[in-house]
Chain A
Amino acid sequence: MKTLLRMKKLFIYGIALAGITSLASCEKDILEQYPTASISPNTFFKTENDLIAYTNSFYSELPGGSDIYGEQADNIVKSSVPREIAGTRLVPTTDSKWGWAALRNINFFLNSENVRNFPNTEIRDKYIGVAKFFRAMFYYEKVRYFGDVPWYSVVIETNDEENLYKGRDPRTLIMDSIMADLDFAIAHLGTAKDIERINKWTALALKANVGLYEGTWRKYHTEFSLPDSEKFLRAAVSASEEIMNSGLFKLYTATSGPTGNPYQDLFATITLDPVADEVILGRRYSNEYGIRHGLQFYITARTQGKPGLEKKLVNSYLMADGSRFTDIPGYETMQYQDEIKNRDPRLSQTIKFPGYRRIGTNALSSVDFESTMTGYQPIKHMSLPEMDGNNQSYQDLIIFRFGEVLLNYAEAKAELGELTQADLDISINLLRARAGMPDLNMDWANANPDPYQANMYRNVSGANAGVILEIRRERRIELVMENNFRWEDLMRWKEGHLLTWPFQGAYFPGPGKYDLDGNGVYEIEIYSGDKPPATGPYQLPASDLSEGLSGNILTNRNIPKSFDENRDYLWPLPIEDLTLNTNLTQNPNWR
């Protein structure tokens, strides 16, 4: 009885408990929680600001820092040699080069309903143009690495087996798509000059670069039997011409910069504003925001590979009067202090020379063999000494410049066989004039092809061979330490064998101490036999010279190098992706 009563009471309290419980929970379903600090794609892309904010994300794909200045190939020698240069690349398990995140980000934008239905079509197409520019850039890089790659214009879903597991599309399809994307961008992007933003001129500059690359690749890589080489060269020409004719760009020739030498100042300037005439697209850095790069640390520190210019590049600089250094008898055994005299002024604006004073100091600064392998210590891009620390450089860097457009124009014309002296005068000779060099004469060049250059560039032939060699010389000199151009040039010209040549430095006639800049202080001591007591200068064993007791500094002489003509122009695809997608095929001869 008592228990029964208790049960009844219990029941009543149970009801009350349930009541309180539902009171706490019924106001609203508290388990419905939605993000408060991010946006649903459905509600985005409604205003131009949304389009700007989204397309801003693409800018992170642009090269920066060491992508721009960290060139190697056979231009800059370091204490170690990357595998692709030594010819010892392995087929990797995974590889960031085979990364596709950037493309997904672009295609998400291009496929968004809200973007497609954006009411103002002019504004919409402008930002679609930005996206297509970046898609072109993305695929251009993929093609340079891998040749044929799968083309995607959609955002791939996890169950989209057709796209996930498809094979590679032919290079021709990819390249045509790149050009179509670029043409769209050129047609719809803004036309005002803006060195910080993607616009019509950036797209044209990229198109010229792509056209020249693909045109020459198809021309020289006959093993792939690709058509339409001329179509791409023509595209390069027309894109370059449009920039050249726009009147918006000219070479920077002012002498008001920190050194008064326009070529040197173009790269040493801290902000791009004074040199904006020549810049098509630049990348800004900021000391205040702590957005910096490592250029000066790379050049001055002892532990960053000790970069130095390679001897054959140094040999390629003409004499100040336009004659060839390599035509001078005995040039091979000429010592630093002699060879450096009376050369194309760009040489002394690219490497340390006797009497060099750093920007921001009055002190003379000698070659520091602690920091350079070859003795030809680069100074391109070098600015204030305070930027020497690890990741402490903040000078702006250039991604596209008018000078490159001129080189692309001349080379494309020459490869098409349509080059004239007038073309040279509005391109190469402008660059030469800025440097203070005499003009290149087309007829003379074709009549007197440089045997030194011809020995390097074995595949150049035809009536324009002489001038093509000179254009290549000009390109190598003008664009050294910029955007890894040299590697790409060797690939498209099919001159990979140049990487296997020994990389050398300055010439020394024998053991002894050398004062390279005549300031009374020795920079280097060559010794044979046992290492003598150190007295100050950097000590190098004579066995590191090419002839044993004399000769050029031999760098990396124990690193065996090779280049497989049938394999090494393309990169291997990573094993993981070949395993996951059996429709993908490996590039030729990679195992």
Chain B
Amino acid sequence: MRIFSYWGIVLLLLSPLVNYAQSGTTVVGTVLDENSVPLEGVTVEVLNLSDSALVQASFTSREGLFRFSNLEGNRNYHFRFSHIGYEDHVLGNFQVKAGENNTMLVRMRTAESSSLEDVIVIGYGTKQRVNLTGAVSQVNGDDLRDRPVTNISSMLQGAMPNFNVTFGGGTPGQMGSLNIRGATSISGSNVSNGAPLVLIDGIPGTLDRLSPEEVETITVLKDASSAAIYGARAAFGVVLVTTKSGRSGKTVFRYNNSFGWATPTVSTDFITTGYDWMKLNDQALAHVGGYSGYTEADYAELYARRNDKKEDPSRPWVTVQNRNGRDQYVYYGNYDWYDIMFTKWQGIQNHNLSFSGGSEKVTYMVNGNMKRMDGIMRIQDDQYKSHNVRTKISAELTPWLRFSNNINFYNSTYDYFGRPGGGNANFIHINVHASPAYAPFNPDGTASYRTGLNNYDIGDGIFAMLLDGKTRGAERKYELKQISELVFTPLKDLRITANYSYNMYTDPSFYRQSPAKFSLEPGVVEITPKYSIDKLSEDQQFNQVHVVNVFGNYDFNIGRAHNFNLIAGFNQEIHKSKKITAERFDISSEDLNDLNLGTGDQAVFGGSSAYAVQGYFYRLSYDYKSKYLFEANGRYDGSSRFPKGQRFGFFPSFSAGWRLSEEKFYDPLKDVINDFKIRGSVGQLGNQAVSSPYPYILTMQPGTMSYIVQNERLKYYSSPNPVSGDLTWEKVTSYNIGVDLMLLRNRLMISYDQYVRTTRDMLGAGVKLPNVYGAPQPLVNVADLETKGFEVTIQWNDNLDVAGKPFRYNAGIVLSDNKSVITKINNPTALTHSLYEGKDVGEIWGYITNGYFKTDAEAKTYPVDQTWLNRVRIDNNIPIGAGDLRWVDLDGDGRISAGENTIYNPGDQRVIGNSTPRYRFGVTGGFSWNNVDMSFFFQGIGKMNWYPGNNADRFWGPYSRPYFSFLPKDFASQVWSPENPDAYFPSLVAYVALNANNELRATNNKYLQDLAYVRLKNLTMGYTLPVQLTRRYKIDRLRVFVSGENVFTSTKLKTKYIDPEQAMANIDGRVYPFVKTYSFGIDLSF
């Protein structure tokens, strides 16, 4: 602590204070930061010595000066200094001498994040960390700045323990799926990882529509006691986002930007020689005569060009030959289709401008953000953009009434070409038949589409579709949200808040398909059969949410030892959604896209729904001198999703904490473990987010069929799916115990939580009915699930003097884990893949292989009948021989089989792995010294199994489909042959990884993958220009930085062509690539 205070003369002044009608004394002072730079906007409060009541408050000026001119002389006060990003500083018991010039100089220290005094946002209020009894994590928005990422959720991945973020792909603007503490419930035959409730300034919202610059804090409430006040939708945790607000004082402008370049995290080094690609695929399909239709002569041509990186004029890659009676193009190329379709680097930009400030009575904050990221398409550019503006204003109308308004507008746009959805869809569809041998263009500039030697659509025809840029679409999202709030303060310690929020969201999108052209015979341009339709589709969803909150917050204490806080309130929400889809055929213009231009058939579809929730809640917290802490929360909640009698539920919770370190007997330990708290909580919550908005009402759904009568698609109604009349809440009970420690002079913080969360009465099918029932069984509240886990946070913060300058550094680890078991369900049959009682969620059943047959003779004499897993071979008369997998007959019946495929008779299967991500971790560290700062952030998971899906093209190659476009460069070396007996894959046959009952498609121990990975999620280095320099240009602060995201990844996954997160997102690992990004930018305040 380096605080210097001086005091001297006190001046007498005239301004009277309400209670003291006499003239006062003046106190002036200066506030500096550690580098002796004046700090502006610091809140300075003068407090009564006796009860710490606020006497007066002010803010420092641009020069760091503050002034109080009417204090009572010869009296002692506390002076409290606070400023965001700095530790609060209290100058206790300061005597204001009457008639003297009282001055003081204060230095404020940059805040340490793990401080016990941290203010933690909790439901409908805040609390100091020291008084928390529940499981809560929090990060500051400022820690997320300056990272080259388009979404906040990605920045939060690994930042807080058991706050789990997963992505469906790397598409720009892709929103993360959030989950807290693992499996939550079941839906159908799957276990779901339910999402927490996300509240932005107290109103439901979407995390990824925020920009980090406008975020003050993000808080995650994990256990029932923290979340119970939100009742029905908070069963699986709550994420509370608080946005920044203005502060009285000078207007502060802040602008920051970053410019970056992104590139896939995975290798894109594929086979690009037509000869090698064709050889592999024809070999895989040899049993039916190959794939390519190329003759030996054709192969000779391919071979001659095998080493041509560029087309040699004497050996053209596109030839014209007479085949099957007509002149047509025959291709002998070495085309790099990935390079033709996709860019290697994608630009990314972020700009953010904010200004905030205010007078004593009115404060405001405005933040505007713009992001732009290029997609991966090269042949026709795709681009993602988002804009975000937030305006907050708050005014004190009367001393007891404050009004504030908070408006947020968000917009994102994705413009693309090709398949509906753009980048990701093109990325997936180009994955077939785009052989390097095949040219994308013919010499006359027309697109290729087919070879004429076989019937397949090259790259699914995507290239032909993209070429003229007429087939395209856009996805747009607009959200406008406004919150109006009144806060009454009728008594000093009573605050009544009433707010109303209206949220409007719409996502108008269009897609235009224009017939795509190609040429197979020189000079003849045809329409591709697959993309022959001329059609414009538009669709638009319109969602509205109305939220009302009214709650009172009352603080009081008895004898300054017994501290009480009481909250009671009411909450109501209505969600309405409506959708319109329209399509029209034969549009008169290729370039204009409006439904009015359609001259052909048209079709229109609608859809709408609504649901509402209503709840009454309370919280009572009590502490005795911050030593014994108690809290009780509860909510009586109703949901329109349930029938009248079952609509409401009461969800209580309790928690308690004990700070041993405050006890007398603890004193000897106090120097080592400075603070020691144990906590525990128990609570019950309800989950209403089950199936449809009307799960108990019989309805007949309209539909449109792929069946044509009178040249129209048949419209129909069919019988309602049966429903159960007595549905009610799923009940989630959670138990949490935790320990918080501060060690080594508060430099080391350790926080540990362990929990059990049970979800009871989950909606599942009741007693399994015979199939003659003829409908999906109505869901009833029958099944139970239990999730157990732990989370630990360890944080070290310290500073040293290095060369006379403060060197502060920090390091931290978060680690969490969870696993779930189905504890009750109605499933006596217990098929291995179904949810049965006692099932470890995520378990993977499979067969066991102990390697390849060494010789044909060994295969022939192997006493176990393995036809069950050799379907393609049997059907195609391919004998089992050397290089084929040998299966272990676990049940000893002489043949490989699935038995009854139940857990009681699984045949030769057993549990070989588990797909639940385990041991998620994050490691952070950083330092700052002499205006230089650096931080790093590693993130990863410790264990997770993945069995590649049947279309995992980059993994299986031709073992799945003998025509996947992108084969890993070294794939041939992984194929078994007598010369290569230790290859990773067995002898090559097509479809064995694609179709059921085949050696690679059957889940097995040999090809089961471990997705464990560690990734350098972010590395940032910054330099803040010396203030003395920037001041000259009226700039308070100017920092330049470079940042890298996903810089480096290490994984146990046995392919460098699939990112572990791609595999987590999609069983085939076939989603838009995740990217690593390098960027630079500036961050400037003035």
Q: Which residues of A contact B (CB under 8 A)?
A: 3, 6, 9-10, 13-14, 16-17, 20-21, 24-25, 30-41, 44, 50, 53-54, 56-57, 59-60, 62, 64, 79-81, 93-94, 98-105, 108-109, 150, 152, 155-158, 163-165, 196-197, 283-291, 297, 300-303, 306, 363-366, 369-370, 386-390, 392, 533-536, 538, 556-559, 574-577, 579-581, 584
B496 contacts chain A at the CB level, 8 A cutoff: yes
- CB of A196 within 8 A of CB of B710, answer yes
Q: How far is the CA of A339 from the CA of B726 in the complex (A)?
A: 72
A16 to B569, CA, bound (A): 12
**Bound Cα distance from A57 to B693, whole angstroms:** 24
Inter-chain contact A37/B772, CB cutoff 8 Å: no
Q: Check if A35 sits within 8 Å of B530, measured CB to CB.
A: no
Residues B706-729 near A (CB distance < 8 A): 706-711, 713-720, 722
Determine if B766 and A158 form an interchain contact, defined as CB atoms under 8 angstroms apart: yes
Binary contact readout B617-647 vs A (1 if CB under 8 angstroms, 0 otherwise)? 0000000000000000000001110000001
Contact with A along B274-303 (1 / 0, CB 8 A): 000000000001001111010111000000
A13, A20, A30, A105 — most chain B CB neighbours (10 Å) = A30
Cα A580 to Cα B827 in complex, Å, equals 11
The yes or no answer to B572 lying at the interface (CB within 8 A) is yes
Knowing A54-B717, A164-B769, A287-B532, the reply to whether A31 touches B609 (Cβ < 8 A) is no
With A57-B716, A158-B722, A284-B709 given, is the CB distance from A38 to B533 under 8 Å?
no
Are A152 and B772 touching (Cβ within 8 A)?
A: yes
Cross-chain contact of A390 among B325, B457, B527, B720 (Cβ < 8 A): B457
Residues of chain B with a CB closer than 8 A to A364's CB? 325
A157: nearest residue on chain B (CB-CB)? B722
CB proximity to A under 8 Å, residues B770-793:
770-775, 777-778
Interface residues of B in 738-783 (CB under 8 A from A): 766, 768-775, 777-778
**CA gap between A297 and B778 in the complex, in Å:** 41
B778 — which chain A residues lie within 8 A by C-beta?
Answer: 158
CB neighbours of B293 from chain A (8 A): 302, 370
> Assuming A59-B714, A370-B293, A386-B526, is B876 touching A80 (CB within 8 A)?
yes
Among B204-212, B547-555, B914-922, B938-946, which stretch is in contact with chain A? B547-555
Contact B715 A53 (CB under 8 A): yes
Say whether, besides A156-B773, A389-B529, A39 and B722 are in contact (CB < 8 Å).
no
Q: Is the interface of A mostly helix, strand, loop or mixed?
A: loop
In the assembled complex, which residues on chain A have CB atoms less than 8 Å from the CB atom of B701?
A: 38
Complex A-B: 14 CB contacts under 8 Å: A35-B609, A39-B700, A80-B875, A100-B774, A156-B774, A158-B778, A164-B772, A302-B285, A302-B454, A365-B324, A365-B325, A389-B529, A559-B877, A580-B829
Encode contact with A along B317-349: 1 for CB under 8 Å, 0 otherwise.
Answer: 000000011100000000000000000000000
Contact B719 A158 (CB under 8 A): no
Q: How far is it, in angstroms, between the C-alpha of A286 and the C-alpha of B600 when the chains are bound? A: 14
Check A363–B326 contact: CB distance below 8 A: yes
Q: How far is the CA of A158 from the CA of B725 in the complex (A)?
A: 12
Provide the bound-state CA to CA distance between A581 and B768, in Å: 10
Interface residues of B, count at CB 8 A: 101
In the complex, the number of residue pairs spanning A and B with C-beta atoms less than 8 Å apart equals: 274
Which residues of the other chain, B, contact A10 by a CB distance below 8 angstroms? 491, 494, 554
Contact of A79 among B532, B770, B875 (CB under 8 A): B875
Q: A1 to nearest B CB, angstroms?
A: 15
* Assembled-state Cα–Cα distance A33/B826 (Å): 31
Chain B min CB distance to A487 (Å): 19
A163 to B772, CA, bound (A): 9
Whole-angstrom CA separation of A533 from B297 in the bound complex: 10
Contact of B610 among A33, A101, A287, A388 (CB under 8 A): A33
Min CB distance A351 to B, Å, is 18
Residues of B with C-beta under 8 A to A21: 550, 570, 616
Q: Which residue of the partner chain, among B295, B612, B711, contacts A33 with CB atoms under 8 Å?
A: B612
Distance of A34 from chain B, by nearest CB (Å): 7
Report whether B718 and A57 are in contact in the complex, using a CB–CB cutoff of 8 Å: yes
**Would A303 and B288 be within 8 Å (CB), given that A59-B705, A109-B719 are in contact?**
yes
B1025 beta carbon closer than 8 Å to chain A: no
- Chain A residues, CB < 8 A from B865: none
A56 adjacent to B533 (CB under 8 Å): no
Contact between chains at A93 and B900 (CB < 8 Å):
yes
Count chain A CB atoms within 10 A of each CB in B456, B532, B875 and give the residue with the most: B875
B residues 961-995 near A (Cβ < 8 Å) are none
Residues of A with C-beta under 8 A to B876: 79-80
A94 contacts across to B, CB distance below 8 A:
771
Does B804 lie at the interface of the complex (its beta carbon under 8 Å from any beta carbon of A)? no
Question: Of B550, B556, B831, B874, which is within 8 A of A20 by CB?
Answer: B550
Task: Say whether A13 contacts B494, CB under 8 Å.
Answer: yes
> What sequence of 0s and 1s flags, for each residue 986-1027 of chain B, a beta carbon within 8 Å of any chain A beta carbon?
000000000000000000000000000000000000000000
Q: When the two chains form their complex, are residues B772 and A150 in contact, meaning their CB atoms are under 8 A apart?
A: yes
- Closest 9 CB pairs between A and B? A104-B774, A80-B875, A363-B325, A100-B774, A38-B699, A108-B719, A56-B716, A57-B718, A284-B708
Interface check B1077, CB cutoff 8 A: no
Q: What B residues does A50 contact at CB under 8 A?
A: 717
Which residue from chain B places its CB closest to the CB of A519 in the assembled complex? B325
Q: Which residue of A lies closest to B492 (CB)?
A: A6
Contact call A538/B771, Cβ cutoff below 8 A: no
| B56 close to A (CB within 8 Å) | no
In whole angstroms, how far apart are the Cα atoms of A15 and B708 in the complex?
A: 64
B490 and A386 contact, CB distance less than 8 A:
no
User: Does A536 contact B295, Cβ atoms closer than 8 Å?
Assistant: yes
Q: Which of B570, B607, B770 interacts with A580 by CB under 8 Å?
A: B770
Interface flags for B158-182 (1: CB within 8 Å of A; 0: not) read 0000000000000000000000000
A303 to B457, CA, bound (A): 13
